[in-house]
Every structure is written in C-alpha cells, then in structure tokens.
Amino acid sequence: MLTAYAATATGLKRLEVTADQELPENAVWLDLLLPTLEEDKLVERAVGVSVPTREEMSEIEASSRLYVENRARYMTALLICQSETERPFTTPTTFILAGKHLVTVRYDEPRSFAMFSHRACKGEGEAPNTSEGVLIGILEAAVDRTADVMEKVGADIDGVSSRIFDRDAARVSRKKSYQAVLKSLGRKDDLLSKARESLATISRVATFLSAEIEGLKPSKEAQAQLRTLQRDVQSINDYAAFLGNKVTFLLDALVGMVSVEQNDIIKLFSVVAVVMMPPTLVASIYGMNFRHMPELDWPFGYPMALIIMVISAILPYVFFKWRRWL
C-alpha cells in the first residue's frame, strides 16, 4: 500500500495512491507498507531512488543500514511492534531521505507511525512541512512510543515485585505457582531488550542524519531537534537499564525464596525422620522373635514399650526446639 502525505498550511494531508496514478507534486512523505513491485517502481521513477527489499532491510551490518546512494540517505531502524501482546518483536523500517521527499519502507505496522500520522494530519502542535521534519517527527514518535512501553513495563515490574515480597501476595503465589511470576519477568526482560535494541538503532539514525555526508547538511533546526532526540534516547536507555537490573534482582530474589521454601520442606522431612527413628528402633527391638526376652512375659510390657516409643519421639523434638532448629 502506498500512501502520500502532502504539506499544507494546517499540517499533512493523507492521500491514497494506486500504482497507476501519479504522485502528488507537493508530497513530502511517501509511505510504503507491504509494497508491491508496481508501487516500488512508481516511487523509484518519481523520486529517483532505489527501494530496498525486505531482505536488504534485515541486514545487520551498519554499512547496510546507514549509507548514501545518489545523494539520498538510506537509514534503517528497528521499531517495536505489538508490545502489548505476549510476543512483541522489532521490525526493520527504512527511511530514504532524498531532497524534498521522504520515503519510508516497512512490512509491519509500528504504532509510532499511526501516532505521528494522526498528530500531523490533525495539525496538533507544530506540523512538519519538510521531509527532514517528517523524518524527525517519526523518530520522535518512535521514542515517545518506546517511553510509553517502558512506563508500562515499570508498572508491571512493580506489580510483580509486590507479588514476590508482600506476605499476602507471597502466600497466594505459593498456593498457585512461581511459574507465572517467572514467565512474567521473562517477558518483561525480553521486551526491555527489544526496546534497547530499537533505541540503539534510532540513536545511530539520528547521529547519521545529523552528520554532514557528501555535502548533505541538515538544517540548524533539524540539528537542534536531533540533539534533543538523542538526549531523550539516552535518558530512556538509562531507564531501560535500570529496569533490566531490577528484573535481574527480582529473578535472583525469587529463586532465593524458592530455595528457602525448599530448604524448609527438606528440613521438615529430616526432622520427621529423626523423630521417628527412636520409636522405630524400639519397635524393631521388641519385634524380634527371641525366646528369652523378659519383657514379653510382663503384664505391663506392651504399655511400657509404647511409653518408651512416645518418650523417644518427644525428646528429639524438644531438643530441636531448644536449639531453635524448628
């Protein structure tokens, strides 16, 4: 699908374009979502750039993600998708800045694009009217979206922390299972790693965009916006690192609490085994089938054996309580 955005006095105007139409002359942003071959050719003819394929966008080398070709800057960043689900992922998104046109190529729908498009078309705030402004606006929306994800992750981690350390919550957790808590922490850590990866690629794009490359010099306004963007990326990245350390601490604490509970259970079984050992010994002795055992002929031999067994069980228990092992 090819969508063109034209600059107007009140913001961007969204225009749906088919492969058999001509692109609007005042279009500053051309958005290719799951593009067809015909749409690729249409953009290549109109803008004079080569649209990368999905395989080329997935290359991990920096030289494949940030480069200049025919005086057009090619930049690929990883943006977070489906962060609210249990299977979030990052998707490569390519930005091609060629003169007055910005071409974006993507095969998924990061929410940051919808956020920026809605805001720019509504004319909220200072609507960008240049290709550089649109690119920086999309990057800012991606950073804002990542910040929202970090806030949600932080709130979820606080909830997990309460479940682990609060007595009532810990009691409920023991009745159910620690597996749910471990899975929740694992999902949060996975989302944090994807967010940090996305922030790293956005930071590289901002650095590449702010540099003077082959005479392509960004405007002073764009440079100021990029510096602010990089500071925001750094602050969010620091917060993500803090959350990552917190997840690691909670995982260690949870494993430690599980170990303590297991030790308590093992200690209980050990105490029961030791307490039952003397009565078992007494019962074993009087269970022997020897002919000459004086107690077997006593009228009170059986009650005496029971009393000895009870006393032999009580004495180890009292000793353990006195040593505070229980």
Residues 140-187: pLDDT tens digits?
889 989 898 888 888 888 888 887 777 555 555 454 567 778 888 888
Q: Calculate mean pLDDT across residues 4-28.
A: 76
pLDDT at 62 over 70: no
If asked whether residues 141 and 221 sit together in one domain, one would say yes
Considering 56-65, 171-180, 203-212, 278-287, the range whose residues carry the highest mean pLDDT is: 203-212
If asked whether residues 282 and 217 sit together in one domain, one would say no
If asked whether residues 33 and 182 sit together in one domain, one would say yes
pLDDT at 86: 80
pLDDT at 91 over 50: yes
Are 238 and 147 in contact, with CB atoms under 8 Å apart? no
Of 236, 260, 284, the residue at which a domain comes to its end is 260
Q: How far apart are CA 26 and CA 6, in angstroms?
A: 5
Buried b (16+ CB within 10 A) or exposed e, 19-42: eeeebbeebbbbbbeebeeebbeb
Of 244, 260, 276, the residue at which a domain comes to its end is 260
Higher pLDDT, 162 or 238: 238
If asked whether residues 299 and 203 sit together in one domain, one would say no
CATH number for the domain including 275? 1.20.58.340
If asked whether residues 143 and 251 sit together in one domain, one would say yes
pLDDT at 175: 46
The model's pTM: 0.73
Of 208, 233, 260, the residue at which a domain comes to its end is 260
If asked whether residues 89 and 236 sit together in one domain, one would say yes
Q: How far apart are CA 286 and CA 294, in angstroms?
A: 11
Q: How far apart are CA 128 and CA 133, in angstroms?
A: 5
Buried b (16+ CB within 10 A) or exposed e, 279-292: beebeeeeeeeeee
Over residues 284-318, the pLDDT tens digits come to 777 766 566 676 677 777 777 778 878 887 887 78
Q: How far apart are CA 143 and CA 147, in angstroms?
A: 6
